[in-house]
Structure 1
Amino acid sequence: MSIRVPFLLTFLALSACQGRTATLPQTSTLLKESIRLLSNLETKVSCDKMNVTNIFAGDKKANDTEMLCKAATIALESRDCHTHLEGIYLNLLSLIQRKSTAYKAPCPVAAGNTTSLKQFLADLHRVLQQLVKDQSLK
């Protein structure tokens, strides 16, 4: 009988959890953490003059998931500049995997207009803030 009580308590505790979603950070948490990392990076990036593809210029037809996938690719390619870029990459990767199974990072980023890494990070910061704002309105 004493074995059944701990088993029953464990079963009830596990039943109360909402399964997999209880252990994964929410989308808004990943976005806010990425924004915090980007805020810390704005003054600390050692190679901020490095050029990267400007995924935010021109064609606005890309959906949010595709844009996040391309941003993850750039963060992955630039992660040698600062350790926080690794965290941003991992957060973006998690967001992509939650939103769609169609995109697998790293996404191809076509060569085109370039911008400095510093400007890319500022643009990504702005876009993520907009995504958090849009999410809070839903």
Structure 2
Amino acid sequence: MSIPVPVLLTFLVLSACQGHMAAVLQTTILKESIRLLRELLETKVSCDKMNVTSIFSGDKTVDDMEILCKASTVAWEGRSCHRHLEGIYLNLLSLVQRKSTVYKAPCPVAAGNTTSLNEFLVDLQRVLQRLVKE
């Protein structure tokens, strides 16, 4: 049984478009998260100095999906500080669920080193900007 060439070509084109749309959607989510982070960093709130788990220090072999998964947990835990953190959480959750079968956000984060919420947001913004460029 052979597949007609036009059907095969149509399938290949649709497959390529779906991959492109997924990449566009991922970039859109990343850019929206960066916008939310920028607004958060420009808004001075009393809980900027709140301590959160430091997920960016330590093991440098951690992959991007694990970082995003852990960042979603920190964003979820800090959402009472600012409403944009819930949007960042939802965006990170969406990215992790789309791109990884290994991580199920929100990921557990080990207690230990802490940083200020403001420093966490700056570091997260840096990671998301790097991912947009890649």
Whole-Å Cα distance in 2 between the matches of residues 99 and 128 of structure 1? 15
Deviation string, structure 1 residues 84-128 (Cα, Å, up to 9, x no partner): 000000000000011112211110100121100000000000110
Match of 2:114 in 1: 114
* TM-score where L is the length of structure 1: 0.78
* Aligned residue identity for 2:32: E
Whole-Å Cα distance in 2 between the matches of residues 45 and 119 of structure 1? 13
Match of 1:54 in 2: 54
SS of equivalent residue, structure 2 residue 82:
coil
> Which consecutive residues of structure 1, in runs of 5 or more, have no partner in the other structure?
1-15
Match of 1:69 in 2: 69
Q: Which has the higher helix share?
A: 2
Change (3 A) 1:107 1:131: same
Whole-Å Cα distance in 2 between the matches of residues 45 and 54 of structure 1? 21
> Which consecutive residues of structure 2, in runs of 5 or more, have no partner in the other structure?
1-13
Match of 1:6 in 2: none
CA RMSD in angstroms, aligned pairs only: 2.2
* TM-score where L is the length of structure 2: 0.80
Aligned length: 118
SS of equivalent residue, structure 1 residue 115:
strand
Whole-Å Cα distance in 2 between the matches of residues 22 and 108 of structure 1? 30
Q: Give runs of ≥4 in structure 1 deviating > 6 Å.
A: none
